[in-house]
Amino acid sequence: MSPAERLDADPVAGPASEPAVLRARDAGLELGGRTVLDGVDLEIRAGEVLAIVGPNGAGKSSLLAMLSGERAPSRGAVELDGRPLASFSPVELAQRRAMLTQDNALSFPFRVREVIEMGRSPWQRAPERERDEGAMISAAARADVTHLLHRRFTELSGGERARVSLARVLAQDTPVVILDEPTAALDLRHQEDVLRVARALAAIGGAVVVVLHDLSLAGSVADRVALLAAGRLLAVGAPREVLTAESVGAVYRIEVDVIEHRGRLLVVPADPRARPE
């Protein structure tokens, strides 16, 4: 049964009881002779949303590239279902994990329907190809782009392009979904929509990794938060354990208040005029 087909199934067990689907073991990454990630030990479990947060330049996108297999670790290992990522063929890997990057650019004026259908390419020679149309329609609806299906991608606004790119990832229909700043170009309503999609994927047993700049969004959507700074993981745990005023203030070099409002964790500057040094 595919992830999308489990939407109406019974809830899965909580993430703490699930095995690690994706795991980094003492992983490091060097780019251009510079260490950008060092000693990363991290696991992503089925049925959870893991949010990765940290200041600019912390190595968040590099960590996602390493977890997705787009970049091989310079040392240590990254495993998917207990196997090194390097042991998967490109098609096998594309059937197991989908990746949404920050770059939503396409130079050719594909129609939105065609862009979303690109997410089905890993299944071209598999029995799952029979689900292509249904998966595309479902993904478009979840990303709220059904009304855009016949528009040209190049004619869309930045927020619309971001949602179409999310739909392409959802159509890929993989048990692991990796999202790099999926809310960056979105208005308030569509930010909430993306968070609901992430939670829905986890609820049917998916493993979701998401990079977020907004700590309040991370605190509200994630089962666990990983705090990254200068290429190293400083803390991994429940949002209330990681997103404390002390830890956030130290990493971001700004005084913050962490408050709870209607069950959601909010991280706000203690003084709106405060700025990092």
Q: Where are the domains of the chain?
A: 4-269
198, 208 Cβ separation under 8 angstroms? yes
Nearest CA to 58 out of 218, 227, 215 is that of 227
Of residues 114 and 5, more confidently modeled: 114
Place 29 in a pLDDT band, splitting at 50, 70 and 90: very high
What is the pLDDT, as a whole number, of residue 4? 52
Q: Which residues does 240 contact at the CB level (< 8 Å), separation at least 6?
A: 219, 265
How would you list the strands of the sheet with 176-180, edge to edge? 97-100, 176-180, 207-211, 48-53, 224-229, 232-237
Q: What angle do CA 178, 218, 169 make, to 5 degrees?
A: 25
Q: Which stretch, 22-26, 99-103, 273-277, has highest mean pLDDT?
A: 22-26
Look at 90-99, 105-114, 205-214 and tell me which has the smallest mean pLDDT: 105-114
Q: How far apart are CA 144 and CA 138, in angstroms?
A: 10
Would you say 60 and 219 are in contact if contact means Cβ atoms under 8 Å apart?
no
Q: What is the predicted pLDDT for the residue at 275?
A: 54
What proportion of the chain, given as a percentage, has pLDDT over 90?
78
Evaluate if residue 208 carries a pLDDT over 90. Answer: yes
Is residue 238 a contact partner of residue 217, using CB atoms and an 8 Å limit?
A: no
Query: Which amino acid is located at 27 in the chain?
Result: A
Per-residue tokens: 74: 């310079």
Query: Which range has the worst mean pLDDT, 6-10, 152-156, 225-229?
Result: 6-10
Query: Can you tell me the distance from the alpha carbon of 176 to that of 262, in angstroms, rounded to the nearest whole number?
Result: 30
Confidence at residue 17, expressed as pLDDT on a 0 to 100 scale? 56
Model confidence over 59-88: pLDDT tens digits? 999 999 999 999 999 999 999 999 999 999
CATH class of the domain defined by 4-269: alpha beta
DSSP state of 277: -
